[in-house]
Amino acid sequence: MDIYFLGGGNMAEAIAGGLVKQDGYRVCIADCSIEKRERLARELGVRVSEKLPALNAEDVLVLAVKPQDMQAACADVQTNGALVLSVAAGLGINTLSRCLGGTRRIVRVMPNTPAGVGLGVSGMFAGEGAGEADKRLAQNVMAAVGETVWLPSEAQMHAITAVSGSGPAYVFYLMNALQTAAVQQGFDEATARRLSLATFKGAAALAELSGEDFSILQQNVTSKGGTTAAAIEAFNAHRLPEAVAAGVEACAARSREIAQQFKAV
């Protein structure tokens, strides 16, 4: 199967890198930058081109250009019935369809950056022009770089953006905060980073292995009146859970704002 990418940015590279490790996929990346094309061809072993070749209905086209560049990038694209996957944040099915000459065989995808190491999670929504076979195909493509979650409505693309799409940044933010706190407790930078990274990595692995609710796992570490309880009390006093919820809502709200802006495209 031929899978074409329009745009060779970080997410395209991550998805293509996962696909080339699977059997049955032939990947081609179209990008206007010759330097990027040469690097992708060298590092991933994929075909590259400045523009997309002629497509057909058995192909998959992944739109991986910036949202603000989508209309111009798609000006000369003829999908010819190919299944279209879009990883462009904020661009709805209707907008994408207008950019592509009216095709409705479109699946929107919101991946996240851990896709680059095969541990991503992608929120997915299929437009009414994409059938069950298209959904299975789209899922197989994104499964090459991690887990997939199908959304019941396009509106939930904003929510998945706020939770898992932007979620790695929240985790890195907290990792950095713990590293900074470790330095304040007297550890050198390298040791502080190692402690923070190992703590997050180990906790995530334990949570996945145990299958327990996160709240139960927290309680298992938190003895009444103990040291961990003192830390949790301080977090609650500073309203950390509310701050996280507010951040997620702010992200979702911004996603909705961007979508409104692009409706005029």
Q: Considering the domain boundaries, does residue 159 fall inside one?
A: no
Average pLDDT, the chain: 95
67 known member of a binding site = yes
247 known member of a binding site = no
65 known member of a binding site = yes
How does residue 260 score in pLDDT terms, banded at 50, 70 and 90? confident
3-state helix, strand, coil in the chain (%, to 5): 55, 15, 30
53 known member of a binding site = no
Do 246 and 174 have their domain in common?
yes
For residue 215, give its domain range.
167-256
Do 81 and 139 have their domain in common?
yes
pLDDT digits (tens, 9 = 90+) for 48-77: 999 999 899 999 999 999 998 999 999 999
How does residue 264 score in pLDDT terms, banded at 50, 70 and 90? low
pLDDT digits (tens, 9 = 90+) for 72-116: 999 999 999 999 999 998 899 999 999 999 999 999 999 999 998
Q: Check which CATH number belongs to the domain holding 220 and give it.
A: 1.10.3730.10
Do 195 and 144 have their domain in common?
no
Q: Considering the domain boundaries, does residue 109 fall inside one?
A: yes
What are the residue ranges of helices labelled H in 130-212?
132-143, 156-160, 167-184, 189-210
8 known member of a binding site = yes
Do 111 and 200 have their domain in common?
no
Residue 130's nearest CA partner among 81, 189, 184 is 81
10 known member of a binding site = yes
140 known member of a binding site = no
Mean pLDDT score, 177-191: 98
How does residue 22 score in pLDDT terms, banded at 50, 70 and 90? confident
11 known member of a binding site = yes
Report the pLDDT value the prediction gives residue 265, as an integer from 0 to 100.
55
Is the model's pLDDT at 16 over the cut of 70?
yes
User: With pLDDT > 70 as the criterion, what percentage of the chain qualifies?
Assistant: 99
Do 31 and 129 have their domain in common?
yes
CA torsion angle 93 98 99 102 (round to 10):
90
